[in-house]
Each structure stands twice: as C-alpha cells, then as structure tokens.
Structure 1
Amino acid sequence: MSFTFIDLKVESSIATITFNRPDKRNAMSDEMRSEFITALERVAADKAIRALVLTGAGKGFCAGGDISGMERRMQAPAGEVGFNGWHRQQRVHYTQSLLHTMPKPVIAAVNGAASGLGADTALACDFIIASEWASFSWSYIKRGIIPDGGGMYFLPRRVGLARAKELIFTGRKVDAGEALALGLIDRKTSADALLADAQAWGLEMSKGSATALALGKTILNQSFELSAQQVFAQGSQAQGICYTSTEHRESVMAFLAQSAAKE
C-alpha cells in the first residue's frame, strides 16, 4: 500500500515513519491519521522491525490537528456535533494507543515545532530526541479545548503535575534547551544529525530479546498505576513466557558453551 501523507521506510531493522504534509507543517488530517494507523499496525506486526523512529518532513514535526477539520466539525448540525466528536476521539485515542503500546522501542525525532496533538504524539513515544530547532507547545487552550492525544496522562509523568498544568494552562512554547532541562525530552542533537542519531539509538535499544522487551515495556507502561504486587504478578507471568522463548534458550546455551570453553 502506498501512502500520500505518511512515508514509511525500513532500513537495518529500524522503521522510520515521516509525517509528510510539510506545506501544512504536518498537521494531522483525518486522511493522514488513517494512513498513520495503517503504518503503525504494519510496524507492530512485522517481527523483522526492531524499533520505530517517528519524525516530520520539512521544518515542523507536527502542528497538531488540521484546522480545516475543526471547521468542518463546527459546520455539522448541532445535534450531531457531540457524537461526531466522540467518534473522532475514538480514532485519535486508537492512534495514540497504537504508538504507546507498540511492542518495540519508539523514538520521536522532533525536527521542529510539535504543537497540540503533535506534542502529545511525541510524548506517546518511549523516548524523545530533538534538534535545536524543535519546540513544544500544548496549544489546545488557545482553541478552547483540552489535550486529547494523551498529554494529560504523559506530560505529568515527564515533568511533574505542577509544571504540566502550567504548560497546558498557558499553551506557551518550550524550546529544545528548556525541554531538555525540564526532562520533557531525553536528548538534544543537531538538525543534521537528528535522524541518524535517532535511528542509531533505536538500533541500540533493540539489540536485546524482542520477547523480553515487548513484555517488559507492557508492564513498565502500567507501573505507575499498578501496585507492587500487581507488577510482581504480571512480571511472573511474563517471565514464564520468556523462559520458553528462543532468545532465552539460545543466550543461555551460548553462555554455557562459552563458560565451558574457558575451563
């Protein structure tokens, strides 16, 4: 399947998805979201892909929701606005959930402005690396709405509750330097090196057992909401699966053979 608003490439087991509406600063239209969902489902299902890098074409990462879509929603009959909005939110949340629960490392390579839904989308990734031209803003307040792409869940976990409230209530812009200081991003690099650095990081993070990584990520994603006993219980179940994996068996046998050779 070919894409119009998304570019998907795979090289050396690392998938790179690029938002490709540079003339609109990669604002997320309904059509672009549908392609994004398809690309994410494809990456999740392909066992040959070990990690995912997400970035934007041109000068922006993602400018958030497409304003023309907002205009069309307001033109719907009054009695349909609520249900239409609910239906759209299901698609938004499904997309963000696919990104957040991807069973392999996901790195946002933020090349420019990440605003509104764009900022939430970066947060839904496991790690964020940004260029010196990157910026972040939860600009929803300026449109009279609230963060709907996971920002109210992810942002407090990144920067703390009070700072998250300040950023969401004001919608102000955060440059790459401040983002690094706040812990909003994990790494900062040059614009020229951004994509290569992100892909190299993805390769580094995905060298281990894909089974152990996927199961571990699933539990870690829930660890703030679960009790210690629940984490232990889920960990026990996951470890039982790991014991049966090919990666575990091969690594143990290789270690034993290496130890025997040294004797």
Structure 2
Amino acid sequence: MSYKTILVTDSHAIRTITLNRPDRRNAMTREMQTELISVIEESATNQCCALILTGAGDAFCSGLDLLELQAMRDMTPAEHRTDAERLARLFVSLYELPLPTIAAVNGPAIAGGTGLATLCDFTMATPAAKFGFTEVRIGFVPALVAAFLALQVGDKRCRDLLLSGRLFGAAEAHQMGLVNEIVEREELAPRAHALAKSLIANSPQSISATKRLLAEQNRAWLDAAVVAALEANARSRETADFREGVSAFLEKRRPVWKSKC
C-alpha cells in the first residue's frame, strides 16, 4: 500500500515507518495521523516482528503543521472532537501495539512529535535532538500526552514539562527516562536495527504477552485519563486563549491572553 506522508519498508521482519515530509520538518497533518494509524494497526497482524519509527531529513516531527493549526480556528465543536479522537487513537495504537517499537529520533521532536517519540518502547536520540511539550505557549492543553507522560516520568516532572512548555535536550530526556540511549547521527539507523534484531530473537509470543500485560496493568487508569483528555482537548480548542495563541503563533508575535490569572 502506498502512502503520501510516510514511507513504510519491511526487511527481515523489521518494519520501518519514516515520517516523510522533510520540507515541513515532518510536521503532523490529519492525513499523516490517519496513515500512521492504518500502518500501525496493520502491523499487529502483519509478519513483521518489530517496528522502527523515524523521520526523513533533519527533523523527527516538529509538531502539528501550521496549516492544520490555522484551520483549527474555524472548526466546529464536533470537528474538534473528531480531531482529538484521531490523535488519541494514534497514541493508544502505538502504545499498545503487541510488537516491540523503537523511535529513532534524528532531530527535533516537538509537541505531538515528542508524544510519538516517547510512546515507543525504546527511544534513541541523537545528541542534537530536542523535545518539548509546547502546547501551553499557544493556549492549548497537552491533554493526550499528559495521560501517558505521568506514567513515564511521575507527577512532578510531568507538571514541569507540561506547564512550562520548555524545550529540553536529549541528555535531559535521557536523565528523565524518556530516552533510553543517545546515539550519534550516523549510527542511529544501524543501532536501531541492531536493537530490533536483538528483540526479535526473543519469543514473539512472550513479547506480545508481556506488552499486553503491561498495557492491561495501566488499563483502568489510562482509559479514564484518555476520556478526560479528550474532553479537555476539545474544550481547550474553543477558548479565546487558543484562538489568540494560534493567531499570535502564525503572525509571529507575542500573544495577548484573553483570560486572567
């Protein structure tokens, strides 16, 4: 099957998904989200035994595409809800895929890009990679990533990253446990494939069962968190602060927030 925004290659039971919009720093679109959902869910029933996620060019994923952000200002509440549900399905599909997943982060992974990178079982990053949950800078709520981030780094660090919206490097991400390994750029792809080969040498049934067990242990909490996140995500898109934040971002100026402290 051919895709417009991603490349999919299979080799020796290893599937590599490459976000393929290098001219837009692999910024996420609705079409990309839909294609990622399709290939990730299909991978669960395919003959592949491990999945690598990476980006074309100098970026992993720079977050949501500017044109998508612009269109959000005119969307209906129902359309906002559908948008949020699509992103939730993408994150949950990647998190619960019964195959080992590896993110090879070749450059900046911002907002939703950080979510994609850190939801994989293993995250490798180049020394120059940057991460950040920058949603609060545009009046948005990082609701869906929050559901998973609290599990990964704990409440205190989760608050730091989500409330500040700051960027942080690969070394700090490694120290927090969001990145497993820092790898030089030229060694990133070979190292990711070497890890994938070592993983598929293990029992496929055991790996699948272990991943299902881990997902099931977090099921009740995560299901409730995702439901709450969907509501928060959709509501935040209807606020005056969101409209002002997006406008300011697109116009490259400081936002003048409508809400009060």
TM range, smaller chain: 0.7 to 0.9
Cα distance in 2 for partners of 1:114, 1:138 equals: 9
2:135 maps to a residue whose letter is Y
- Counterpart among 120, 123, 126 of residue 128 in structure 1: 123
Is 2:117 aligned against 1:118? no
> Aligned with 1:15: secondary structure?
strand
Q: Deviations over 1:104-150 (max 9, x none)?
A: 100111111111100011122111111112111001111111224x4
Q: Report what 2:70 is aligned to.
A: 71
Q: Report what 2:34 is aligned to.
A: 34
Gaps of 5+ in 2: 222-261
Cα distance in 2 for partners of 1:226, 1:85 equals: 25
User: Map of 1:1-263 to 2, 5 A cutoff?
Assistant: 1-46=1-46, 48-76=47-75, 81-148=76-143, 150-224=144-218
Note if contact 1:131-1:188 (Cα within 8 Å) is conserved in structure 2: yes
Q: Deviations over 1:54-96 (max 9, x none)?
A: 00111111111122112112124xxxx2111001111111111
> Aligned with 1:158: secondary structure?
helix
Q: Deviations over 1:27-64 (max 9, x none)?
A: 11111122212221222211x21100000111111111
What is the CA distance between 1:206 and its match in structure 2?
2.2
Q: State how many pairs are aligned.
A: 221
Cα distance in 1 for partners of 2:104, 2:184 equals: 11
Cα distance in 1 for partners of 2:160, 2:66 equals: 24
Which structure would you say has the larger Rg? 1
Cα distance in 1 for partners of 2:90, 2:220 equals: 24
Note if contact 1:25-1:58 (Cα within 8 Å) is conserved in structure 2: yes
Cα distance in 1 for partners of 2:141, 2:122 equals: 23
Gaps of 5+ in 1: 228-263
1:153 maps to a residue whose letter is A
Which deviates further from its counterpart, 32-41 or 16-25?
32-41
Q: Structure 2 vs 1, CA of residues 49 and 189 (structure 1 numbering), >3 Å: closer, same or farther?
A: same
Cα distance in 1 for partners of 2:32, 2:88 equals: 15
Which deviates further from its counterpart, 4-13 or 139-148?
139-148
> Aligned with 1:45: secondary structure?
coil
Cα distance in 1 for partners of 2:88, 2:218 equals: 20
1:30 maps to a residue whose letter is R
Cα distance in 1 for partners of 2:132, 2:25 equals: 14
Cα distance in 2 for partners of 1:19, 1:225 equals: 29
Cα distance in 2 for partners of 1:62, 1:226 equals: 30
Note if contact 1:104-1:206 (Cα within 8 Å) is conserved in structure 2: no
The percent of aligned pairs where both chains have the same amino acid is 33
What is the CA distance between 1:215 and its match in structure 2?
1.5
Cα distance in 2 for partners of 1:32, 1:141 equals: 23
Cα distance in 1 for partners of 2:153, 2:210 equals: 23
Q: Deviations over 1:181-226 (max 9, x none)?
A: 1212111110001111111111212222212211111111232567
Cα distance in 2 for partners of 1:106, 1:73 equals: 31
Q: Report what 1:251 is aligned to.
A: none
2:127 maps to a residue whose letter is E
Q: Structure 2 vs 1, CA of residues 137 and 215 (structure 1 numbering), >3 Å: closer, same or farther?
A: same
Give TM-score, length-normalised by structure 1: 0.80
